[in-house]
């Protein structure tokens, strides 16, 4: 079983930056597409980014394009989400999730849990002055 652990969340001011990390264990991360999904109270769950095998493809939701950058280091079994110019609207719990293994490890725009094989427990990002 693939296990995912997020870290790097915290409280930042608007316009600030933060880098989230997702460390995988149990199975090789290189066999999975990895996404970041966020959940804020009263809002729909939203997939904010996804990275394909080998980092060949990267996807972002429109609201974070140009501000967030997803990357992966398969040698370290780690995926990152670099966030800059953060806005209060970015406040949410951020989860990393994996798709792959025996299934096709393609990215998806879907945010619901049934579309991802594995999930971490999340890290809180709060953007406030």
Q: For residue 39, give Cα distances in angstroms to 24, 36, 57, 76, 122.
A: 21, 10, 24, 27, 9
Dump pLDDT digits (tens) for 44-100: 999 999 999 989 999 999 999 999 999 999 999 999 999 999 999 999 999 999 998
What does the mean pLDDT of the chain come to?
Answer: 95
Residue 104 has pLDDT above 90, yes or no: no
**85 and 15 Cβ atoms separated by less than 8 Å:** yes
Residue 102 has pLDDT above 70, yes or no: no
**Which three-class secondary structure string do you get for 23-37?**
EEECCCHHHEEEEEE
User: How many angstroms separate the CA atoms of 5 and 23, rounded?
Assistant: 5
pLDDT at 68: 98
User: How many angstroms separate the CA atoms of 104 and 97, rounded?
Assistant: 15
pLDDT at 55: 92
Averaged pLDDT for residues 37-44: 96
Q: What are phi and psi of 122, to 5 degrees?
A: 100, 160
Residue 103 has pLDDT above 70, yes or no: no
pLDDT at 100: 86
């Amino acid at each position: 079983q693939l296990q995912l652990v997020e870290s790097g969340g915290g409280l930042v001011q608007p316009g600030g930056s933060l880098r989230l990390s997702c460390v995988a264990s149990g199975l090789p991360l290189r066999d999975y597409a990895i996404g970041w999904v966020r959940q804020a109270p009263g809002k729909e769950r939203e997939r904010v980014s996804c990275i394909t095998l080998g980092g060949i493809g990267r996807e972002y939701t429109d609201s974070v394009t140009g501000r967030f950058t997803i990357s992966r280091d398969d040698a370290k079994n780690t995926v990152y989400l670099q966030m800059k110019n953060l806005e209060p609207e970015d406040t949410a719990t951020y989860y990393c999730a994996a798709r792959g293994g025996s299934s096709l490890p393609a990215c998806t725009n879907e945010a619901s849990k049934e579309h991802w094989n594995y999930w971490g427990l999340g890290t809180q990002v709060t953007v406030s002055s």
